[in-house]
């Protein structure tokens, strides 16, 4: 079965111009009240944007230094315990 088109042929540039015009009409006619924002997502985005990343970096380094200190002290005490048990 063959479909015969009765429309006038259109060049590629004209087709793109028509598509752009139709898209612009759709955007202009869009009712944005149909798509309200979702408050939890908006709150999450604004919370992430309000983070002071330099403060987070400083606090993370300080926390990591504290963890390293704890590991070093535990290692030293464990070594002392091993030396004590070796001499018993």
- Give, for all 88 residues of the chain, the pLDDT tens digit: 566 767 777 788 888 888 888 887 776 665 555 556 677 877 888 888 899 989 999 999 999 999 999 999 999 999 999 999 999 8
- In three state form, how does the secondary structure of 6-62 look? CCCCCCHHHHHHHHHHHHHHHHHHCCHHHCCCCHHHHHHHHHHHCCCHHHHHHHHHH
Number of residues in the chain: 88
Q: How far is CA 17 from CA 12, 27, 29, 76, in A?
A: 9, 15, 18, 76
Tell me what pLDDT residue 2 has.
66
Rounded Cα gap, residues 64 and 69, in angstroms: 9
Tell me what pLDDT residue 39 has.
76
Could you state, in order of their start, the residue ranges of all structural domains in the chain? 52-88
Tell me what pLDDT residue 26 has.
73
pTM of the model: 0.43
Tell me what pLDDT residue 62 has.
93
């Amino acid at each position: 079965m063959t479909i015969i088109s009765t429309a006038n042929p259109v060049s590629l540039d004209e087709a793109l111009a028509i598509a752009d015009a139709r898209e612009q009409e759709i955007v202009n006619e869009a009712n944005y009240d149909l798509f309200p924002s979702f408050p939890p997502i908006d709150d999450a985005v604004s919370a992430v944007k309000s983070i002071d990343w330099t403060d987070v970096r400083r606090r993370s380094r300080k926390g990591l230094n504290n963890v390293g200190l704890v590991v070093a002290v535990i290692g030293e005490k464990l070594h002392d315990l091993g030396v004590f048990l070796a001499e018993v």
